[in-house]
Structure formats: C-alpha cells, structure tokens
Chains A and B, each alone.
Chain A
C-alpha cells in the first residue's frame, strides 16, 4: 500500500515564491524577454543558463507555469540537451574540444591532462568548486587546435603547460579583476 499523501493544495497559484531571489528574477526576466517568440522555451532556457550558469530543477515549475506548459514538458527539453545543466557548475566552465581536427593535434592528451589536473571526468566539477569540465564538438577554431573555451573566452594551440597556466591565471583573475581571462563575472 502506498504512503498516504497529505491533501496538498498550493498556497500560491504562481509557483516559485520560495525560489532564491536571483533564480526567480533570472526566470522571470528570461520569460518576459522571450515570451512572445514562437518556440520561446529554448531561448528562455538559454537566457536562464547564461545568467545562472545552470537551470536549477526547482525553477522548472515557474518556467512551466509562465509558458502554460507542464513540468514534464520542460523537463523533457532540459534533459534532452546536454548543454543545459541541471547541476550547479563550478565557478568557471571549461569546454574542451574533442572534434577531429583538435584530436589530430593533441586534444586526446590534453583531455587526459585536464582531467588529471582538475581531478574530474567530463561533466564533473573540481573538488574546490572552481572548474567544471565539459566536452564540446568543435569551437570553429580548427586551424589553431587544440582549442578550449573557458567561460566565454576561446583559447587555441592549447598544451598541458598552457592549460596549467590558464587555470592558475583564472584562479587569480577573479581577485585581480583584470578581466583578461575571465568572463564569468556576469
């Protein structure tokens, strides 16, 4: 016999009143900017991820309500695209190219190094919460591979040594606010 469920009726008609303010604001702004588009869900999800770095599952009821969709529909779309993240990423997201051109010039070794250096597999976040490593299939920088992108910034001719330098630089750049390597401040 199944567990007895309390007769629950939501207090608020509009879901999301219990969301952290930043998440609620991100959702509502994304919705308000894109609502009238045909097929507004994808642009809205992108806008939310751009702002929050991920799409917290707890925001789905509000997204669904605003677009008159079911929660299941939104979940189906979010989970279909690997790009949409359902877990909070590290402070910086590294997209490592695994496409053919980069593989031909050392991407495989770079991948192994990156995983070792950060102590993660793809989609994982380093123990200190600073880096999330993601695979990507072509950054359009094939002439200068191997390529990677940290946050929004593209880096070519990557080597394990430069990778180490880069994550060192990124580690301190936030503090120095030089902005040279970090695009994560948004």
Chain B
C-alpha cells in the first residue's frame, strides 16, 4: 500500500530531450518522449483507472483497466504500455470504455472477499477506489464458483502478512522485488486461474529468499501484503517526512502517524538517496523507539556499584556541572572530554563539540568515526583534498565497471546495493575485493567478473599490485594526470609502483591473490569505461587503513576515474550521520568543515562568535582518553549516544579506562554497556523525537523531523544546551534551525545551507555555497578541491597481527542485513528472528581439523581475550579466515579484537585478529563475569525497580 500522502502517476518518469505534445480528452499536454499515455493523462490532471501500473515500476499491461481509445488506432490499447506520439488524440472516458472497465472489474470482484469494512486497506485500497471509479454495482457471476477466498494467510514474517485471498495477481509485488530490490524472491506460480504469488518455491515468506525490504508492500494495491502494525492500528491520518537513523545511505521516509503514534514507515518516493526504496531495518525495525527498556528519567549514582537513583532533569544537570567543575579544578583543564555520536543530528554533534571547545576549554572531543571512517577523512584529504566521497548514489547508474573493496553492500547498505545491482543487471562489470564470498560475488543476476580473495590485512599490497599493472602496462590516463594532478609526485609514485616487488606475481605470496586474476581485474578497471570504487570498513579498519584509502585515490586518479558521473571514490559510510559528525568538527584536531584547530582564521571565526579563546592544540582521541584514564589523568567523560564499551576494540581495556574515571555521563536511549560504568545517565531521544539533519555517505544533508515528543521531555540538543548553560558557557537556541544557521555562518562548505533551503530542495549535498547554491552532487569536476591531485606513496607494511602457531587463524568482523552495529536498536525489535546470536563462520577444512561441527559451541581466543559462540561451518570464508558479527553484547566480539590501529588515525584494526578456535562446553570467563556485571552494575533503586514492573 502506497503512502497516504503520495500521488501515483502510473508509470515511471522518462528523461528525453524530445518533448511530445498530445491531446487527452481535449486537453493539450506536453511530456518527454517515451512517456506513457497513462502518465501523460495523469500529468494533465486526468485519472485513468489502473491496477497493475504504478509509477515506481515499469508498465506491465496486465490488468486491462487503463484501456483507452486513440484516434487512428484499432481497439482499446492499454494506456500504460502505449507511449505518447506527437499529435495523438486520446479518449479516456466514454461509454464503451466504461463498459469494458466495469466488466473487467466485475471479474476481479467475483474472486475477491467483500469484507471491505474490516479490511486493513479500508480507506486506502486501490481496488476499492477503482471499483468506485468504474461504477461497479453488481457481480453477475455470483460467488459459488471456484475462487481463492479460502486461500491461507502467511503470517510468518514478523513485520507483514501475505493474505492470498485478497490477491488480484497484478504482479506488482513480483515486479517490485525484481526491479526495485533485485532479490527476485517472488514469482507468479502456475497459470491461468491457478496463478498465485509465490515466495521462492511456494514457501513461507520467512523461509524464502525474501529479505523483507518491504518494496512489495508499498507496491501492493490491496491489503494482500500489509504491515502488521497497520493491521493493528488502521490507516494513518498524517505523515511526516524524515530521514532514517540506521546506515549511511540515509533513506528518506514518511512516518505515517495517528496522532503521536507511528503507524508505519513508508519510503519516500521523492527521497533523493533512496527513490522510494527501503530495507528491513529502516522500514520495520523502529520498535526500539518505544521499547520498555527506554530510560526516560535522568538518574545518578555515587559509584558504579550503587543502584541508580532517579532524579529531576535540574538535579542531573546541576550534578553533572558540579562534578565537572570539581574535577577540572582538581585535575586540570584537560582532564575532561566528550564524545559525539554519529547517531545524533548534525546540530547535536555541533553542540557537543562546541561545549567541549568553548565550555571545557580544551579540544578533547572525538566521535565514533574514530573506529570506522577516520582513515577516509585523512586519506582522501591528503590525495584529492576533501574528506568525503566524490559522487552521489545515482552516479552508479552511469558506471561501467564497479569495484567493491572491503564492503558488503547487500547487508550493510542494502538500498544502495539494490541500485548497484540494478546497474549490474543492465550490464555493468563487477570486481569484488574481499576475503569472504559476499552475496555480490554471486547471487541472482549478479556475478563478479573477478573476485580477489585476499588475505585479511593485505589491501595495500593488492592495490599497489593493481597500480603496478596500470603503470607498467601503459594504462595510465596521461591526459588526466597531466592536467589534473601534480606531475612530479605522479612520477615518483609511478616509479614506486612500477618496482617489480609490487607486481601481482611478487605480492601473491603475501596477498594470496592469483596474479592472473589480479592483472585481469586491473585491466578491466583501467579500460572498462567509467570505473567506480565503492569501499567500506574492510578498507579503513586496518593498521594501514589510511594508506589503503590513499592507494584507492591513487588508482582512481591514475586512470582518470574522478570528476564525472559514473566514476569516483565512494566510501560507504557506516552510520546514518557519520559523515555529518565528522563534518561538524567532532575530531580533536578539526573544527567543522575539516579545518585544523591550529588554523588561525578558522579559530578566530569561532572565538569571535563564541566569545571565548579556543585552544590551538589538538585534543585527545578516544583511545588516548582511555589510556590517560588508566594513567589517572583523565577523569570526566560525556558520552552522547555511543556505546564504546561494546563497539570499541579490546573491551577489557575500555572498561578498565571507564572504571578509572571519576565521572562518566552517558546520554542514550538505553542503559547500554557503557552505562554500566556511568555515574550520571541522561535519557536520549530517538530520531522520531527531534528536529535536525543527518548527512549521508553522498554528503547529502536531509531533514530529520520531529514526529512524536521526546519521551524523556528533552531532545539531545536541549540536554547539551542545559549542560552548557549550567557550566556558564551559555547556549541559547530555540530550535535546531538556529544551530544550523550558526554552522552555515562558520563553515564555508555549509554556507548556503538552511532549513528553509532544505525544505525547498528536499536535501542538499555539500559543498553548498555561493558557487554551488543547490549543492554539489559530483565533486572535483574541473579540478581537485585541493588544486592538483596528490599521489601518495603507499608502501605495504604487513600488520603485526599475524597468524602464528598459537593463533593460526585470522578473524575478521562485519555486519548482517537484519541487525545494526551494536544492536542496541535492532536487538529490541522483531528482527531477532533472523539473527538472534552472533555466530562464528569457519571453513569446513579448519573446522574438521579442530573437530568442530556445524552448530558446536567454540572458544574463540586471541592474545588478549576469549569468548565462546556457536560455529557455523561454511565455505563463505576461505581456509585460515574466520568471521563473526558484533551485534550482540553478550557475545563480546570486541573482547577478542586488539588495540592495534591505523598509523595515521588510530582507527582500530577490527578486521584482522590472529585467533585460535577450539570446541568448548562453556562460556568464557569474560562472558560469565560480563553477565554478572550486567546485573550488578545495572541495578535500580528499589522504588525504581518496582515502578518499572
């Protein structure tokens, strides 16, 4: 069922230089060539009845409702499949047409339940509307014949139902799964009267290939596919356009509301990042927002072993401020700091870093991008001059060769993956560089031309070898390099990579990649037309993360694959606002817009506006804060919306650091793992409860709009503001729009951004300034932002973390479609049906050697920690490599990961840990202690516990 607020023009929009004018029912209408008569009529304000057509899918011509008459044409052509022609004269309504439509509708209704009043689609059903439009008054066939009225209902999926009795077999769901999602999990089985919709091989939706993206539900014109939440609540009465708070794709949604209750989330057709598509998380997994685990009252305690005590906001804020003053007085100005969140809005992030810089008087602010894409910021700044991806998502539709490195888009960025797969189905070639066989390597209608199965930790060697092939085989785009890049340093780079030690053959021993395959992949990338690179955390989360990012930029520059549609270097950012949190000055060394704190002009801008002197010394990064806490010099930490005790590597070290602090303030939706070590808990607000903006992986700034009031009474920006005011560093904003105005006034790349402009344009890709008043979809078009592109020498250095006799396997970690990061949200939704525990993927060879069978409990030990989890024996991983996810706190995947990190940015080396695996019959000591502490460090005062029950 489509959104209550959207109009359906019947068939997709066509782009054409040629305009065609036709006459529909006496009205002149001009549309691009290739447009259907159905759409042309809709654009002229005429509504032709239709059932199988919808403007998100190609026309199909099966329902026979949209028949029209065209002067000079025989019979009654279907207007959805008839393209417009110059001078065409179309009649959409007359008695003959009405009779046909009514007759067809009569047939539909003869096999459809007449339970409109109790049907979930009541009030918003296309079949009902069309029956009304054609004036159906009777069904002469009766209901005694064969029919599908007793067809069973499939309720297996936790989020939606499939009620076959209401199906009119229009194929919209099947086509949505094919065209939009690209999973092709649905089909029409049988033929004629026996045709029915089937998930995979007549299976339940849950058992089938379905990935629960919801595209079929939006496409369904009846109640056949309906959200369970809609069935329960009924139709919404208003909707609010907002932006998803899960991954870096940043899909636009309409939150359909009944008063202050969200009925369902419907992807927004006008959303520039997602064009009406969604995934299981954004569309369905929002139950966490109203989960009983939400903490809605501020709480304090003197020590982490004490039970929590509820207090008023005033008391919590005053206590936070007095602790801060006490500690800063006792231990010095630099003994305190804050962590901003990539889950919070730009405005909130900006305020936290402002609080730290202006209120605390130091630069001890960092963000979770530290542990994901900080190497992207650094590596791209060094080479091409800006810490962000070069393209918009739509650019992939112009790519001829797509190279995916260290990213698993079908799980982690599903909506972008659907676009990418659409391009692959249209013929683009694909190179996958990944130690695992991700779904893109081979799945329905997708097959990588080359899969380079490298050993974890050897990205730089592989990219250098590709560059070696490009340089030594004469595949460099010399014109591009000459015009756009610094020649001197290109030449030294070319000499460097041309060295025989970088050849595919020479590096094969280290990388494990077949040299022939690598050469072929490099040639394809360099000569296959528009070549685009998409990469993820498999690139950044390494000891050479920044080097890898620079090697990627080198390769793109050398082959001229930057600065136009269809090419580029594209980091797939993990979190909804990780790009934004970096843009907003969350790093200890940078103000908003990536200006170093030692940059006098930038600093003076802020000093003038904020009226306080600012430090020109970079502050502490998260790992430094933890180290200094253990050393005894860092004592007070404000953590907004981040769970470092679960997400950061070497959990034991992190928790030791937190325990060593005198005051930890956690601001979050839930009493998360970090909150076990907190002294003050400030309740957070979900994305539904506040106004603001998120910036996605394509630099797109989109509005987050308040749909319901904050459960705890205050949005996160209001809490930070209260804290600042209590400290005597006054902040006075009446609305986040005023914070954005301050960001725009102080940040050159955001100069043209305002809420008014965002409302007008829908979304804006920065840089947005006088030169680009509507934003910048593709960057570096005529020249690099930094002037000349800089080639950087990228020497491969093997990580110190390597397999040896004690730890012979390499562990790498990742995400799965149905869960999100630390799982704080998705674990509190019905999505656990797909992934209720983290499992260890291990190759059959390694499993057999260890006597491990599929499903066994195994101990996973590294040099720093040990956990137990169930094994899943699979060829998806190569021999010597094991893989797990980190969605469940009880697993403690990061107890095993080490404190190794990227040389430039400290981004942890999550993707490579030397481990051993053995069968076990018990959980690890850490897990047992963690379970006990999970109770003992989360106790509530008696009255509170009673109230909670």
Contact = CB atoms under 8 A, between A and B. Distances in A.
Contacts of B202: 75
Given A9-B874, A75-B202, A69 B184 contact: yes
A75 B200 contact: yes
Contacts of A71: 200-201, 208-209
B184 A68 contact: no
A69 B444 contact: yes
A61 to B, nearest CB: 9
B229 to A, nearest CB: 14
Nearest to B202: A75
Contact of A13 (B190, B198, B839, B876): B876
B185 A70 contact: yes
A17 to B, nearest CB: 10
A60 B833 contact: no
Interface residues of A, number: 28
Given A1-B830, A2-B157, A7 B189 contact: no
Nearest to A57: B201
A2 B155 contact: yes
Contacts of A72: 184-187, 198-201, 208-209
B206 A2 contact: yes
B445 A79 contact: no
Nearest to B883: A9
A11 B875 contact: yes
B816 to A, nearest CB: 9
Nearest to B195: A80
Interface in A48-95: 57, 60, 64-65, 68-73, 75-76, 79-80, 82
A5 interface: yes
Interface in B834-878: 834-837, 839, 841, 844, 854-855, 870, 872-876
Contact of A4 (B155, B157, B442, B836): B836
Interface in B499-522: none
Q: A13, A69, A79, A80: which has the most chain B beta carbons within 10 Å?
A: A79
A70 B200 contact: yes
B183 A13 contact: no
Interface string A1-32: 11111111111110000000000000000000
Given A4-B833, A5-B833, A79-B190, A70 B157 contact: no
A82 B190 CA distance: 8
Given A10-B874, A72-B184, A80-B191, A60 B201 contact: yes
Nearest to B872: A9
Interface in A139-170: none
Range for the number of chain B residues in contact with chain A: 35 or more
B156 interface: yes
Contacts of B447: 68
Contacts of A64: 444
Nearest to B185: A72
Interface in B804-836: 830, 832-836
Contacts of A3: 833
Most chain-A Cβ atoms within 10 A of its Cβ — which of B200, B844, B872, B873? B200
Nearest to B873: A11
B835 A13 contact: no
Nearest to B205: A2
A70 B174 CA distance: 12
Contacts of A6: 855
Nearest to A8: B872
| Most chain B CB neighbours (cut-off 10 Å) among A3, A6, A65, A76 | A76
A82 B100 CA distance: 31
B300 to A, nearest CB: 37
A11 B186 CA distance: 24
A73 B444 CA distance: 9
A9 B876 CA distance: 9
Contacts of B191: 79-80, 82
B188 A7 contact: no
B833 A2 contact: yes
A10 B439 CA distance: 12
Contact of A76 (B188, B443, B446, B874): B188
B437 interface: yes
Contact of B444 (A2, A57, A70): A70
Q: Which of A7, A11, A13, A80 counts the most chain B CB atoms within 10 A?
A: A7
B158 interface: yes
A68 B833 contact: no
A11 B844 contact: yes
B437 A13 contact: yes
Contact of B209 (A1, A70, A76): A70
Interface string B238-254: 00000000000000000
Contact of B839 (A7, A65, A79): A7
B445 A69 contact: yes
B279 to A, nearest CB: 18
Interface in B638-656: none
B198 A76 contact: yes
Contacts of B437: 13
Contacts of B188: 76, 80
Contact of B189 (A10, A13, A68, A79): A79
Contacts of B875: 11-13
Contacts of A11: 844, 854, 873-875
B446 A68 contact: yes
A9 to B, nearest CB: 5
Interface in B173-221: 183-191, 198-202, 206, 208-209
A4 B818 CA distance: 14
Nearest to B885: A7
Contacts of A13: 437, 442, 874-876
Interface in B604-637: none
B183 A70 contact: yes
A3 B186 CA distance: 22
Contacts of B200: 70-72, 75
Contacts of A60: 201
A4 B833 CA distance: 5
A11 to B, nearest CB: 5
Contacts of A80: 188-191
A71 B183 CA distance: 10
A12 to B, nearest CB: 6
Given A11-B874, A69-B445, A71-B201, A5 B208 contact: no
A149 B184 CA distance: 38
Given A2-B833, A4-B833, A11-B854, A75 B206 contact: no
Contacts of B833: 2-5
9 contacts: A1-B158, A1-B830, A4-B833, A7-B835, A9-B876, A68-B442, A71-B208, A79-B189, A79-B191
Interface of A: 1-13, 57, 60, 64-65, 68-73, 75-76, 79-80, 82
Given A71-B200, A76-B187, 12 more contacts: A7-B836, A9-B841, A11-B844, A11-B854, A13-B875, A69-B445, A70-B184, A73-B187, A75-B198, A75-B201, A79-B191, A80-B191
Query: What are the 3 tightest A-B residue pairs by CB atom distance, in nearest-first order?
Result: A76-B187, A70-B184, A70-B444
